[in-house]
């Protein structure tokens, strides 16, 4: 895989085929998350993988009614097992670590020919209740996983000149 090509080509998928994800592909996707770096290599995370269609159907409401969630044959919840820790830079360790791991997961999904849609629009309490996730564990991100039926067009991106500064910060 050419990583930059995968980053360029990957899209958020909001339409899934009614086809199962092969176990070996799912394992590779989960392995990518496992191998992701984390602060102090703590790996304070759990990934809840849901394949039960009835549970996935109930997760649609927990994901604020996003119907495409119910189309996917797999749903993954990225959970922080030790929330509340803050790195010396002031950033929450769990959000940063799980963002990295989820990014690795979605890139490997693309490599396996699968689609994802990183969701921040969900009701954490409902997701936790449906999946039996205890307090104080936090659900940081969720994604459906499956085969896309529609490939979205590329989105516009800012140019490097619009987002990069060298040596010191420069406002627009």
What does the H/E/C string look like for the chain?
Answer: CCHHHHHHHCCECCCECCCCCCHHHHHHHHHHHHCCCCHHHCCCEEEEEECCHHHHHHHHHHCCCCHHHHHCCEEEEEEECCCCCECCCCCEHHHHHHHHHHHHHHHHHHHCCCEECCECCCCHHHHHHHHCCCCCCEEEEEEEEECECCCCCCCCCCCHHHHCCCCCCCCC
Position 134 scores a pLDDT of 98
Structural domains in the chain, CATH included, are 3-163 (3.40.109.10)
Per-residue pLDDT tens for 43-68? Answer: 999 999 999 999 999 999 999 999 99
Q: Tell me the pTM.
A: 0.95
Per-residue pLDDT tens for 106-162? Answer: 999 999 999 999 999 999 999 999 999 999 999 999 999 999 999 899 889 999 999
């Amino acid at each position: 895989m050419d990583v930059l090509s995968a980053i360029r080509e990957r899209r958020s998928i909001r339409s899934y085929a009614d086809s199962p994800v092969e176990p070996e592909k799912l394992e590779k996707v989960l392995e990518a998350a496992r191998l992701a770096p984390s602060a102090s290599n703590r790996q304070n995370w759990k990934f809840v993988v849901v394949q039960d269609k009835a549970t996935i159907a109930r997760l649609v409401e927990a994901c604020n009614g996003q119907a495409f969630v119910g189309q996917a044959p797999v749903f993954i919840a990225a959970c922080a097992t030790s929330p509340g820790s803050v790195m010396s830079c002031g950033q929450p360790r769990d959000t940063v670590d799980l963002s990295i791991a989820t990014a690795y997961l979605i890139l490997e999904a693309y490599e396996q020919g699968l689609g994802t849609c990183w969701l921040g629009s969900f009701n954490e309490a409902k997701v936790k209740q449906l999946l039996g996730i205890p307090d104080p564990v936090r659900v940081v991100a969720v994604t459906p996983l499956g085969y896309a039926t529609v490939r979205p067009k590329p989105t516009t991106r800012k140019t490097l000149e619009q987002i990069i500064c060298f040596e010191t910060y420069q406002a627009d």
